[in-house]
Amino acid sequence: MRYADTTSDLNTNTSIVHVDTAQADIDTVANTSPRHVNYKLWTAVLCAAVLAGCTSKGPSAPPPPASAPAAAPAPAAVSSSNLPPVASWAEYRRRAAKLIMAANTSNTFTGPLQEPMWGVPSVTIMLNADGSVRLIDMLRSSKIAPESNSLAQQAVRRVPNFGSVANLPRPWQFNETFLYNDNKRFQLDTIVSGR
């Protein structure tokens, strides 16, 4: 802020404004304070680093075909379409539990289970021969935390395919129990119990 003195010239009826130059010097110094200079310096260094990282040092990959739209990435980098067949339902259930956990990494937790759990819904997952989900049925609903029932079903639906079950005996289904803590994050009984 600058301060001004206004004086009147009696002969000409005009005002003369005197600006306090000391305050103007302070404003100039404030804009070049060490903190302001460091901010400008760090901004310049950051921009230079980003631009340096954008340069190419080798042959670049060919661009994707123009006709193919870019697909949104899946929630997890798990591809179940090329999974090898398994020999038993127990092995299939362990693999399915890992796929569910991988597809829901932001909704899971590790470590000890709390007592009591917030919700413990159990679902039956019925499959088609190719391993895609045909139906999710509630085997045991959580009465204390009914919201956990739908959260468990949503977690299963995030896995598009569990791998072929054509070599396993019918019915093509398995059960899974979700163990939810108070933060609405889960572990799976198959992984916790190691069965």
User: Which pLDDT belongs to residue 182?
Assistant: 95
Among 67-81, 101-115, 180-194, which is the least confidently predicted range?
Answer: 67-81
- What is the domain partition of the chain in residue ranges? 4-48, 89-193
Q: What is the mean pLDDT of the chain?
A: 74
Query: CB neighbours of 113 closer than 8 A, spacing ≥ 6?
Result: 179, 181, 187, 192
Banded pLDDT at 154 (limits 50, 70, 90) = very high
State the residue for tokens 């959580």: 142
User: Which pLDDT belongs to residue 81?
Assistant: 59
User: Which pLDDT belongs to residue 52?
Assistant: 47
pLDDT in tens, 6-35: 444 444 444 444 444 444 444 444 455 454
Alpha-carbon gap, residue 187 to 98, rounded angstroms: 10
Cut 0.85: pTM above it: no
Amino acid at 104: N
Share of the chain above pLDDT 70, in %: 58
CATH match of 89-193 with 3.30.70: no
Banded pLDDT at 47 (limits 50, 70, 90) = very low
Instruction: Name the more confident of 120 and 22.
Output: 120
DSSP string, 18-59: EE-HHHHHHHHHHHTSHHHHHHHHHHHHHHHHHHHHTS--SP
Q: Is the pLDDT of residue 86 over 50?
A: yes
Q: Is the pLDDT of residue 46 over 60?
A: no
Instruction: Name the more confident of 15 and 122.
Output: 122
Banded pLDDT at 53 (limits 50, 70, 90) = very low
Instruction: Name the more confident of 15 and 123.
Output: 123
- Token pair in block for residue 136: 């999710």
Banded pLDDT at 37 (limits 50, 70, 90) = very low
